[in-house]
Amino acid sequence: MFQHILVPTDLTDSAESSLKMAMSLARLRYGSHVSLLHVIERIPSLEDHELRGFYERLERDACMRMRQMLANTSGCDEVTTTHHVVLGRRSEEIVRYAESNAMDLIILSHGQDPESPFGSVSYKVGILAPCSVLLLKSPPA
């Protein structure tokens, strides 16, 4: 079964369903680890040092939201969890994180965007990921 599970989160309710699924799978195997990952998109054409305070506030808010998500998800006390925030392009950073941390599975929700099904983060991660990917279909808005 899966030892290291990555749940990329955009901090919305649809990401909570991915976290619940990850917890369910992790509880099936003693010693499994679940990592939440939030990627803050860089603002192109501006240097990071110009926006340092802005990015730091976004990181603090993301960490607080991920802690809330973990606290509100049943079974978190039975599974080892961590949360991380990185700066960059979402799909690239998710794949990079999965590679560098030897993830066995990535679980993420896939929104229904008929205008851009092949440009979505979930599509790119599904193609480029070094491990298995489980896409959870989000209900239409």
Contacts of 96 (CB under 8 A, 6+ apart): 88
d(CA 26, CA 46): 40
- What are the mean pLDDT values of the chain's consecutive 10-residue runs (141 residues total)? 92 87 87 93 78 92 94 82 94 97 92 60 91 82 54
User: Model-level pTM?
Assistant: 0.88
Structure tokens belonging to residue 33: 């680890």
Residue 141: predicted pLDDT: 54
pLDDT value at residue 127? 92
Q: What is the pLDDT of residue 109?
A: 84
pLDDT (0 to 100) of residue 137: 80
Query: Coil, strand or helix: which one is 72?
Result: coil
Ordered by where they begin, the domains of the chain are 4-137 (3.40.50.620)
Angle between helices 121-128 and 90-100 (to 10 degrees): 30
CB of 55 within 8 A of CB of 87?
yes
